């Protein structure tokens, strides 16, 4: 066992004493120590900044809610639940009671090696954010606020989503920082869509630029379920997001759209594994990443088509834009196919801004800086345009406009 893993086991073991469901947590921690931490030699972890772990403290933060906490404006029609360092914040939540109580931690034990940070989360998550939709369509927004500076403890937000047969959910999940000090966040999300269920899930990772994030999302889809996942990764000093989606029922379908922005020395690493395990399942995967400064932006999209998944259909469009001479982009489509009669297409490209487009805009009198930013904006358009909630889209557009400044949000198309 590495010294780091030993330290994690020690800190986590001590912290678990005060938490409910100790047996389940102990087993999660044991599973993690058995598997060990990933290393940069692991194919699926080579872009993540694992060395950032060395500097972290793993004991959970107490969840002290700062008195002044600026949250994004509420979205009409959405029930809001706020968690601070993984603890439910009743005062800031519109929901009548916490949709929580810990459970289902055992399930993480069955997950694959790429999802092992969810074991750390299961070992130490304070409370579980939960949404269960039995009928009709609900709209819920979860705000996960990282408040404690890294030295004062870690944040373990956990979200469990269950959509029952035929029901629907529009879900917003945001990760934010309360202050400007760097925090350490290990988040886990589990989604289950029963037969015929549908869910549109917006994920916004907007931690402050000094935070470290290890995020794991697992989703299982039963027959005819439809999952739309839109993710916008802009925050953190080093952020790794692992998405593990299983299309377990016939005709289940996932549309995954991820946009990631890196600047300064940020690391934005996303690994998305989609497994087609049943007949006529479909995936549509879109990634747009922009790396500026000395940042590194990576998207590793793996599609596995199992023997049982005849007539599967998968499309990948992965594009990276290099916006600085010292920046790095890695986009990697991977296909593993164990059956015939599948349609799999993928396109992957990394490039600089198009010189012809740039000259066209300059020849119309736009300032060089404005033209460059406009072209970056346009590059992300495929992902942004897919955000079906107008109020949320406007908020995210405004956020992007601040990250790609010059043009004020109201000026942008």
Partner 1 sequence: MDSTALLEIEDLEVTVEGRKILNGLRLSVPRGQVHAIMGPNGSGKSTLAHVLAGRPGYEVTGGRVRYAGKDLLSLAPEERARAGLFLGFQYPVEIPGVNNVYLLKAALNAARTAQGQPEVDAFDFLALVREKMRLMRMEDSFLSRGVNEGFSGGEKKRNEILQMLVLEPTLAILDETDSGLDIDALKIVAAGINTLRSPARSTVLVTHYQRLLEHVVPDAVHVLSRGRIVRSGGAELARELERRGYDWVSGEAA
**What is the C-alpha to C-alpha distance for residues 84 and 62, in angstroms, rounded to an integer?**
9
Decide whether 74 or 367 has the Cβ nearer to partner 1.
367
Minimum CB separation of residue 261 from partner 1 in Å reads 15
Minimum CB separation of residue 402 from partner 1 in Å reads 18
Minimum CB separation of residue 287 from partner 1 in Å reads 15
User: Which residue in the set 73, 97, 325, 365 belongs to the binding site for partner 1 (CB under 8 A)?
Assistant: 365
Beta bridge partners of 173: 142, 203
Chain centroid to Cα 2, Å, comes to 28
Q: For the chain, what percentages of helix, strand and coil (3-state, to nearest 5) are there? A: 25, 40, 35
The β-bridge relationship of strands 87-88 and 79-84 is: antiparallel
Decide whether 28 or 374 has the Cβ nearer to partner 1.
374
Contact 210, 238 (CB under 8 A): no
Q: Which of residues 335-354 bind partner 1 (CB under 8 A)?
A: 354
Asked if 408 interacts with partner 1 (CB under 8 A), we say: no
User: Which residue in the set 379, 389, 392, 401 belongs to the binding site for partner 1 (CB under 8 A)?
Assistant: 379
Decide whether 339 or 370 has the Cβ nearer to partner 1.
370
Asked if 356 interacts with partner 1 (CB under 8 A), we say: yes
The sheet that has 282-291: what strands, in order across it? 87-88, 79-84, 137-146, 168-177, 198-206, 226-233, 253-262, 282-291, 313-322, 343-351
Asked if 403 interacts with partner 1 (CB under 8 A), we say: no
User: Which residue in the set 19, 348, 361, 398 belongs to the binding site for partner 1 (CB under 8 A)?
Assistant: 361
Beta bridge partners of 328: 296
Q: Dihedral, CA atoms, 219, 224, 225, 228, nearest 10 degrees?
A: 100
Asked if 406 interacts with partner 1 (CB under 8 A), we say: no
Minimum CB separation of residue 366 from partner 1 in Å reads 6
**What is the C-alpha to C-alpha distance for residues 262 and 327, in angstroms, rounded to an integer?**
9
Burial code (b: 16+ CB inside 10 Å, e: under 16) for 251-286 equals: bbbbbbbbbbbbbeebbbbbbbbbbbbbbbbbbbbb
Count the site residues for partner 1 by CB under 8 A. Answer: 27
Asked if 355 interacts with partner 1 (CB under 8 A), we say: yes
User: Which residue in the set 14, 40, 74, 367 belongs to the binding site for partner 1 (CB under 8 A)?
Assistant: 367
The 10 Å Cβ neighbour count of residue 29 is 21
Decide whether 87 or 319 has the Cβ nearer to partner 1.
319
The number of residues in the chain equals: 413
Decide whether 348 or 412 has the Cβ nearer to partner 1.
412
Asked if 359 interacts with partner 1 (CB under 8 A), we say: yes
Decide whether 31 or 403 has the Cβ nearer to partner 1.
403
Residues 6+ apart with CB under 8 A from 251: 223, 224, 278, 279, 280, 281, 282
Minimum CB separation of residue 272 from partner 1 in Å reads 23
Decide whether 70 or 410 has the Cβ nearer to partner 1.
410
Minimum CB separation of residue 352 from partner 1 in Å reads 14
Asked if 364 interacts with partner 1 (CB under 8 A), we say: yes
Residues 6+ apart with CB under 8 A from 6: none
Decide whether 104 or 350 has the Cβ nearer to partner 1.
350
Query: What residue ranges bind partner 1 (CB under 8 A)?
Result: 354-357, 359-368, 370-371, 374-375, 377-382, 411-413
């Amino acid at each position: 066992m590495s010294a780091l893993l030993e330290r994690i086991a020690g800190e986590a073991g001590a912290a678990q004493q005060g938490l409910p469901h100790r047996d389940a947590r102990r087993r999660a921690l044991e599973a993690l120590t058995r598997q060990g931490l990933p290393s940069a030699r692991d194919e699926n972890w080579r872009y993540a900044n694992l060395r950032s772990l060395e500097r972290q403290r793993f004991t959970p933060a107490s969840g002290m809610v700062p008195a002044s906490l600026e949250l994004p404006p509420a979205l009409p029609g959405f029930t809001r639940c706020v968690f601070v360092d993984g603890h439910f914040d009743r005062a800031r939540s519109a929901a009548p009671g916490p949709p929580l109580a810990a459970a289902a931690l055992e399930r993480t034990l069955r997950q694959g090696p790429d999802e092992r940070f969810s074991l750390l989360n299961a070992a130490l998550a304070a409370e579980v954010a939960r949404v269960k939709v039995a009928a009709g369509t609900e709209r819920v927004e979860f705000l996960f606020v990282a408040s404690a500076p890294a030295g004062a403890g870690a944040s373990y937000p956990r979200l469990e989503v269950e959509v029952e047969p035929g029901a629907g959910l529009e879900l917003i999940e945001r990760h934010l920082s309360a202050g400007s000090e760097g925090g350490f966040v290990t988040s886990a999300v589990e989604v289950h869509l029963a037969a015929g269920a549908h869910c549109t899930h917006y994920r916004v990772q907007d931690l402050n630029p000094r935070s470290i994030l290890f995020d794991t999302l697992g989703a299982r889809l039963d027959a005819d379920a439809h999952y739309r996942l839109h993710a916008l990764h802009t925050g953190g000093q080093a952020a790794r997001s692992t998405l593990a989606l299983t299309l377990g029922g016939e005709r289940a379908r996932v549309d995954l759209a991820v946009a990631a922005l890196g600047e300064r020395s940020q690391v934005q690493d996303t690994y998305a594994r989609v497994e087609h395990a049943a007949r006529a399942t479909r995936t549509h995967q879109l990634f747009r990443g922009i790396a500026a400064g000395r940042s590194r932006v990576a998207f590793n999209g793996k599609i596995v088509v199992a023997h049982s998944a005849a007539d599967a259909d998968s499309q990948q469009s992965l594009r990276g834009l290099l916006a600085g001479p010292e920046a790095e982009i890695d986009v990697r489509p991977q296909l593993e196919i164990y059956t015939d009669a599948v349609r799999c297409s993928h396109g992957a490209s990394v490039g600089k801004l198009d010189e012809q487009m740039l000259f066209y805009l300059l020849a119309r009198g736009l300032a060089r800086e404005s033209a460059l930013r406009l072209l970056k904006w346009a590059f992300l358009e495929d992902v942004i345009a897919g955000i079906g909630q107008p109020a949320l889209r406007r908020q995210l557009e405004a956020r992007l406009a601040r990250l790609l400044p010059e043009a004020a949000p109201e000026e942008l198309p």
